[in-house]
């Protein structure tokens, strides 16, 4: 049985979406953020020492990192769905997006979150951070172009991973500058599988208004 250790309002939401797209049976172990610090509760550290979400459990095997979890679920349980054929050029592009989401695109968003708590002290850093947020979202927007999905215009794990980047970008108002990214968020959140995952969790803050 697949178990997702899921923190509310987090990157873990996309793993639930992935499992719903594949129609796989799974269980959610839900954790709530601390009302004051917004951090994960200490119980998550009993599952993995870092105490972060998502964590996937598959018959006792623990897998961390959204990109690795996405790859694991698709390879081991996807039956060839949601990824281009291994060895194809499209598969390389697909892998690039799986890594890009957490390895590159999340960094400036996280820097904005943390430096935002410093107020004026962080002012000298803000232009560079905002420029980098813009650069990463602009790159994503340019690669998506007028397509519905990122790789071969077919929904894949690349879209599952990049969904959170698109969601936070639009939640921060960047959808006005990048209408194709705003439309992408509306498109993915309208999918029955995305809706089914949302219905199983606490309200998710990054929904398209
Ligand atoms: N790169 C990791 C990031 C994991 C991560 O930082 N998760 C956040 C949720 S968005 C978390 O658990 N934060 C709570 C905490 O650090 O206490 C991944 O994609 O799995």
Does the C-beta of 163 come closer than 6 Å to ligand 1?
A: no
Q: Please give the DSSP secondary-structure letter assigned to residue 54.
A: -
| Nearest Cα residue to atom 3 of ligand 1 | 65
pLDDT in tens, 119-160: 999 999 999 999 999 999 999 999 999 999 999 999 999 999
Can you tell me the mean pLDDT for 22-26? Answer: 98
Does the C-beta of 6 come closer than 6 Å to ligand 1?
A: no
Q: What gap in Å lies between CA 198 and CA 190, rounded to an integer?
A: 11
Question: CB-hemisphere CA count at 13 Å for 100?
Answer: 20
* Ligand 1 centroid – CA 38 distance (Å): 11
203 vs 108, more confident: 108
Which of 17, 48, 53 for mutating ligand 1's site (highest number of atoms within 8 Å of CB)?
Answer: 53
* Ligand 1 centroid – CA 10 distance (Å): 7
Domains parsed from the chain with CATH numbers:
2-82 (3.40.30.10), 89-193 (1.20.1050.10)
Percent of the chain with pLDDT over 90: 96
Q: Tell the burial category of 3 from Cβ atoms under 10 Å away from its Cβ (0-12, 13-18, 19+).
A: middle
Helix, strand, or coil (residue 2): strand
pLDDT in tens, 37-64: 999 999 999 999 999 999 999 999 999 9
pLDDT class for 203, splitting at 50, 70, 90?
A: confident
CA 69 to ligand 1: nearest atom = 20
Q: Are 26 and 35 in contact (CB under 8 A)?
A: no
Other beta carbons within 10 angstroms of residue 57's beta carbon come to: 18
Give the pLDDT of residue 209: 57
């Amino acid at each position: 049985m697949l178990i997702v250790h899921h923190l509310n309002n987090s990157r873990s939401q996309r793993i639930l979406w992935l499992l719903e797209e594949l129609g796989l049976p799974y269980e959610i172990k839900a954790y709530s953020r601390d009302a004051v610090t917004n951090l994960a509760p200490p119980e998550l550290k009993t599952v993995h020492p870092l105490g972060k979400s998502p964590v996937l459990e598959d018959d006792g095997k623990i897998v961390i990192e959204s990109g690795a979890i996405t790859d694991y679920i698709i390879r081991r349980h996807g039956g060839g769905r949601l990824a281009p054929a291994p060895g194809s050029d499209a598969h390389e592009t697909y892998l690039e997006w799986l890594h890009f989401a957490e390895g590159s695109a999340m960094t400036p968003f996280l820097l904005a979150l943390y430096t935002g708590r410093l107020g004026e002290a962080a002012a000298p850093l803000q232009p560079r951070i905002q420029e980098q947020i813009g650069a990463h979202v602009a790159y994503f927007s340019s690669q998506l172009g007028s397509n519905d999905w990122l790789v071969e215009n077919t929904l894949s794990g690349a879209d599952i991973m990049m969904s959170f980047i698109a969601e936070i970008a639009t939640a921060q108002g960047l959808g006005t500058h990048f209408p194709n990214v705003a439309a992408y968020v509306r498109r993915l959140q309208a999918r029955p599988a995305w809706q089914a995952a949302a219905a199983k969790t606490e309200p998710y803050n990054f929904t398209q208004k």
